[in-house]
A and B are shown apart, each in its own frame.
Chain A
């Protein structure tokens, strides 16, 4: 017997909550009768897609950094910029603020996200954690901030569409733009697949 839990969860009450609209249904119901969303019982089965999308995102993050993001042709010659190269060049020109945004959105946030999702998935997988509040906060930060990494893709889109001045200057997107967009999309899917309700499950009784 466990000591009386202060909070009764839907799972403990033999129910499954809809994560889309909040209604509860008897355990085993497949679809929410109100909003039509698939009902998922709380369980570590949801961690498989988390890891699959996580790995896909990480794989695409490598070419995203190795290949050029921007191909620039100006009067003085051709130039190729990777993500990091672009940020460094901006900083050298004195645009510290914008260099900071790019560095944050394209390098710091993606890498922190990979670490954070892996940490959360491992922590709930082994069920040896305390402090649900801290983990939920981490999850919510990852979920909120993930899509903002897409900024660099839009920068490349606007630059390539706008800077078309023939021989004076023209900018074209490089292959890294596609790899980076895929990497961000896959990590967003990874974070979305993670079920935050796992964070709050207590350690299993026979452990």
Chain B
């Protein structure tokens, strides 16, 4: 029972089962999982902070393209209509459904962009070997906590389902924004895969 504990700043508590572990800096491809529940405590650091910063910049540029270029077009019986991502979010703006428009805009555009900015703010100085900026801890926690609410990838799948629904009704054309959005998903997945949360916290919390 009375095993002497290592210093408190060398300990890590599993967020899923509360088990204490002593942590050490791992080699680049090593990972550490909780001995009791198997949760990954330290993901391998496959790429540097600079890669994550570069991908966040790319994702932001793609998002700008996705919002301002035409997204999808439809034509039937000589009539045609084009829609942007912004208009898709504004689809609920009539009457009392309006707050839903804001929620959709937040989920597919604003929150993803806010997260990219927060990541760049956190990691840019670290990537250059400088100490973290003053609000880096807040920015990174903000980016992590908002992750479930940023739903760009779900929006893309939803678009696919919508297209199948109208496929028999009309002809569909894809605008540049559609492809920008698809590329954005790939970039976001890569960015998440390259990030090691624990390594970033260690770098911020020095």
The answer to the question of A196 belonging to the interface, with a C-beta cut-off of 8 Å to chain B, is yes
Complex CA distance for A167 and B96, rounded to whole angstroms: 24
Question: Does the CB pair B20–A10 fall under 8 Å?
Answer: yes
Q: Write out the residue numbers on chain B whose beta carbons fall within 8 Å of the beta carbon of A177.
A: 92, 97, 100
With A150-B107, A163-B170, A200-B37 as known contacts, state yes or no: A34 contacts B17, CB within 8 Å: no
Chain B residues with Cβ under 8 A from A18's Cβ? Answer: 13, 15
Cα separation A11 to B13 with both chains bound (whole Å): 10
In-complex Cβ contact of B76 among A23, A98, A168 (8 A): A168
B-side contacts of A169, CB under 8 Å? 76, 169-170
Given the known interface contacts A17-B13, A196-B17, the answer about A151 and B158 at a Cβ–Cβ threshold of 8 Å is yes
Residues of B within 8 Å of A200, CB to CB, are 17-19, 36-37
Report, as a range, how many residues of chain A touch the other chain: 35 or more
What are the residues of chain A within 8 A of B204 when measuring CB–CB?
34-35
Measured between C-beta atoms, what is the minimum distance from A79 to chain B in Å? 12
The reply on B61 being an interface residue by CB < 8 A is no
Using CB atoms, name the residue of chain A closest to B147. Answer: A147
- Cβ A157 vs Cβ B158 within 8 A: yes
Query: Contact size class for B?
Result: 35 or more
The interface residues of chain B lying within 8 Å CB-to-CB of A116 are none
Number of interchain pairs (Cβ within 8 Å)? 224
Is the beta-carbon distance between B19 and A98 smaller than 8 angstroms?
A: no
* Known contacts A26-B8, A132-B17, A153-B104, then 12 further A-B pairs from the complex at CB < 8 Å, ordered by chain A residue: A17-B14, A24-B8, A34-B205, A90-B164, A90-B165, A146-B148, A147-B149, A150-B151, A154-B88, A181-B103, A185-B103, A196-B15
Chain A contact residues, CB within 8 Å of chain B: 4, 6-11, 13, 15-26, 34-37, 42, 90, 93, 95, 97-98, 101-102, 132-133, 136, 143, 146-148, 150-166, 168-169, 172-173, 175, 177-178, 181, 185, 188, 192, 196-197, 199-200
